[in-house]
Structure formats: structure tokens, C-alpha cells
Amino acid sequence: MAKRRRKLSPELEKNISLAKKEIELITAIIHDIDEEDILEEYKSAFLPVMSVYMSLDQMYKDVGFNDDTSNLYAMYLSKLEKFKSEYEI
């Protein structure tokens, strides 16, 4: 049985790439925090954002563009915005 081709979206690919860079930047900023308690608090708060991004990236690689990947991207943006509003980066 032939493997089904996944549908691609250049716009979503670009957004995922930008999200990856933002995740890397925020992670680096968090790891530069000297005080251990604050570092752990920021890491814990940022974990949901990272988890959604990782799920989005993997799902896009596996199945391509669909409603689920679009919804995950929207969820990523929502969680990122919530994190940024609650924590100074």
C-alpha cells in the first residue's frame, strides 16, 4: 500500500521555524537566570509552551498541514502570550 503524501503549508513551516528560534531564545534567557528559585519557576512556567511547540513540530513532520496542526499552532501562540504576560523576559 502506498504511503499517503502529507499536505504542506509554507506559511506554517515558516511559523514553526520562527517558533523554534523563539523557544531557543527564551530558553537561553531562562538558563541565564542566576537565582535557582527563580530559574526553576521560569522553567516550570515555560514547560507548557515548549510541550505544545514540540507536539506541533512533531505532528507537522508526521502528518503535515491539517486542522490539528493549525489548532496546535494557535494553542502555542496562546500559551506563549500567557507566559510573556505573566513573566518578564
Reported pTM: 0.90
The string of pLDDT tens digits covering residues 8-62 is: 899 999 999 999 999 999 999 999 999 999 999 999 999 999 999 999 999 999 9
Q: CB–CB of 64/7 below 8 Å?
A: yes
Confidence of residue 4 (pLDDT cuts 50, 70, 90): low
Instruction: Kindly list the domain boundaries of the chain, sorted by start residue.
Output: 23-86
Q: CB–CB of 73/16 below 8 Å?
A: yes
| Assigned C-alpha cell, 29 | 534567557
